[in-house]
A and B are shown apart, each in its own frame.
Chain A
Amino acid sequence: MKKNFLTIFVGVLIGVLLVLYLVAFQLSVNEKAVLTTFGKPTKTLDKPGLYWKLPWPFQKVYAFDARLIIDESVFEETLTGDGKNIVFSTCLGWRIQDPKIFLESIGSISDAKRNLEGLVRTFKSGVIGHHDFANLISLDNDSIQFEQIEEEMYQPVAKEAETRYGIHVDFLYITRIALPEQTTAKVFERMKKERERIAERFRAEGDAKANELKAKARSERDQILARAEAKAKKIRGEGDAAAAEYYRIFEDNQKLAVFLQKLETLEKVLKKKATVILDTQTPPFDILDSIETQTQQQTR
């Protein structure tokens, strides 16, 4: 009896699982799905959970990854509005918004990538062609329109993708900008010249600044010395003035003062290494003369 019960239990279990497998399916939180009945989309499923369906061939479920998908476009050469060639690529971040439209228009992620790539290509060259090179790359903040350009590409792509493919485009960014190969060689030439000019300027500026500093220092030196001289002159003048006070007594006794000064000067001037020639009239040598006269007189 037990044996039969078990057999029946296992049999029923397997049967139930099989039926469940045919008529039930799970939808994950990061998926969206469409239920088709005889190939015709009948129900859009965008909430996660367990769902029922009629077994194949009556109904079929198409589930799609609803997460963000990022596509980078190919690196392509385009002409800007002012006739410059640039090579650039964009990236597109998108996700499936309406699985029904998506299934009807495209049906698979890989086809969607191809379609979107074509869509981006349709608009991007046009947008770049309406802008100058300086709108993308420039030191002048007023001419930069980077975000505006991205926006101009994003708007039509996003609109088309949503209405035609049921795809929501989260972002469209320019991911790379390059120059054609021959242009890079010219850029190198220019960069080299620029650097040479900058180096030259540094050297010249260094000399000029150094000379300026030196000249300034020299004039400062001259000023310091001039000030010092002026001050010294004043001090000396004060000294002379103070000395003059003492010399007032000289004025009262001019004859003596002059005489004493003469003596002092004489003493100072004839200090050493001087040869003096005097005649015998100078005292005390006048004595010599008088003696001579006396002797002469005596002998006579």
Chain B
Amino acid sequence: MIENMEQNNNTPYTDPAHKSLMDALKVTFRLIKFTMAMIIIGFLCSGIFVVKQHESALILRFGSIVGTPADRVLKAGLHWAWPYPVDQVIKLPTGRIQSLKIDNFWYHDIDTPPSRPGVQDKIPNALRPGLDGYMISGDVNIVHAIWTLRYKIIDPYTYYLTVQDSDTLLSNLFNSTIVSIAGKSSVDTILRTGIEQFRSQVERETQDKLAKLDCGIALQRLDIERITPPRQVKAAFDDVIQAEQEHSQKINEAKTYAAKIVNEAEGNASQIESESLAYQTNVIEEARADASYLEEVLDKYENSPEIFLFLAKQNTLKKIMDKLDDTFIFSQQNQREREIRLMLERTEKQR
């Protein structure tokens, strides 16, 4: 013990080498302590995370979701969780509308680029199942289309529990809806008259299927990017459109014609009417004039009818003679037969 004590007392002073080792160890020890503290602080700080504007987050503690149904979904902002392996943070882009293009119903034209630019390659006369996609309408016509689905994660909790691959899920639900709805719609509905009705029906039924599945996804909107009859029969479809245009053009022309002749007829009718009115006025006025004239001259006539008649006759004759072109007068004095020849080929006289 004494020896030991001595040794203990002596060492710091007696052995300089030993002393310097002790110092070095002390420094190292302090350094380790500092590092340890930094590691612990760093460890705890690593639990801080940011949820971005368009995201929501869930925290899994030992695999279970942290929080009640009301507060388990973390909104945008700064949050803290225990670092792995205690907690695990799951971030989901709930605020973002994601889009998914579906070209399962489009023909395969990728491996046949035009051999020369500007030259259309020959169109195959049949469609290969599996390669060329299409919808079959209820009247067994073929229609190609490209669709875009826009969807959103509306319930991150259900989504995390249910969905492994949202694109596969959505495209399959959508495909089955398309196949069943196209299979009972006519090709004219799909391509022309009811295209919007068709689109909204597919949209609605896809939404129903998603809702039934309860997977936390909602289909926001379904758009038809392209829709067309097959290339093989495109010309025939175009011809129908043209025929339809001709149809309405013919009808429009007929309508214009009809309006025109009815208008004309109405014009004529009012003319006929006004003419008849004019006639009415004329005939009445004339009668009135005649009557009043007769009344006027009646007195004179009754005084001496012979003279009146003679004078009136002579007056008229005067008036007529004034305007006549030619007047021939023949005497009947010598009771002989006479022949009068008329040359009825006269040039019109200058007035």
Contacts and interface: CB of A to CB of B under 8 A. Distances in A.
Partners in one complex: yes
A43 interface: no
Interface in A40-78: 48-50, 65-70, 72, 75, 77
Interface string A238-252: 111011111101100
B37 to A, nearest CB: 12
A140 to B, nearest CB: 8
Given A232-B275, A236-B280, A240-B283, A280 B332 contact: yes
B254 A232 contact: no
A198 B240 contact: yes
B240 A202 contact: yes
B71 interface: no
Nearest to A226: B269
Contact of B258 (A216, A242, A283): A216
Given A93-B213, A214-B258, A221-B264, A267 B273 contact: no
Interface in B241-265: 242-244, 246-251, 253-255, 257-259, 261-262, 264-265
A2 B30 CA distance: 11
Contacts of A221: 261-262, 264-265
Interface in B181-235: 183-187, 209, 213, 215, 229-230, 232-233
Interface in A6-40: 6, 26-31
A202 B243 contact: yes
- By secondary structure, the A interface counts as helix
A70 B183 contact: no
Contacts of B138: 137-139
A79 interface: no
B17 interface: no
Interface in A231-282: 231-233, 235-236, 238-240, 242-247, 249-250, 253, 256-257, 259-261, 263, 266-267, 270-281
B246 A28 contact: no
Given A146-B183, A283-B314, A278 B250 contact: no
Contact of B251 (A147, A176, A206): A206
Interface stretch (B2-10, B42-50, B91-99, B167-175): B167-175
A31 B63 contact: yes
B330 A277 contact: yes
A6 B291 contact: no
A3 to B, nearest CB: 6
Contact of A263 (B129, B258, B312, B340): B312
Contacts of B137: 137
B325 A273 contact: yes
Contact of A275 (B247, B317, B325): B325
B64 A49 contact: yes
Contacts, number: 361
A137 B329 contact: no
Nearest to A223: B265
- By secondary structure, the B interface counts as helix
A247 B261 contact: no
Nearest to B277: A235
A266 B319 CA distance: 10
B31 interface: no
B38 interface: no
A139 B310 CA distance: 100
Contact of B291 (A216, A222, A250): A250
Size class of the B contact interface (CB-based, 8 Å): 35 or more
Nearest to B315: A263
A181 B232 CA distance: 14
Nearest to A180: B129
Interface string A283-295: 1110011001100
B294 A284 contact: no
Interface stretch (B75-83, B112-120, B295-303): B295-303
Interface string B42-66: 0000000000000000001011110
Interface stretch (A100-108, A112-120, A183-191): A183-191
A146 B29 CA distance: 77
B140 interface: yes
Given A26-B85, A199-B242, A170 B250 contact: no
B273 A232 contact: yes
B324 interface: yes
Given A244-B287, A266-B320, A225 B240 contact: no
B65 A48 contact: yes
Contacts of A177: 136, 179, 183
Nearest to A290: B333
A283 B279 CA distance: 36
Interface string A163-206: 00000001101111111111011011011101110111011011
B307 interface: no
B121 interface: no
B261 A179 contact: no
Contact of B172 (A72, A147, A196, A209): A72
B40 to A, nearest CB: 11
Interface string B115-140: 00000000001111110011011111
Nearest to B230: A188
Given A221-B262, A221-B264, A225-B268, A146 B283 contact: no
Interface of B: 25, 29, 32, 36, 60, 62-65, 85, 88, 104, 125-130, 133-134, 136-142, 160-165, 168-169, 172-173, 175-176, 179-180, 183-187, 209, 213, 215, 229-230, 232-233, 236-237, 239-240, 242-244, 246-251, 253-255, 257-259, 261-262, 264-266, 268-270, 272-273, 275-277, 279-284, 286-288, 290-291, 293-295, 297-298, 301, 305, 309-310, 312-314, 316-317, 319-320, 323-333, 340, 342, 349
22 contacts: A3-B29, A67-B162, A67-B164, A91-B176, A177-B183, A179-B136, A184-B142, A191-B230, A202-B243, A202-B244, A213-B255, A217-B259, A228-B269, A247-B290, A256-B305, A271-B323, A272-B325, A275-B328, A277-B328, A279-B331, A279-B332, A285-B329
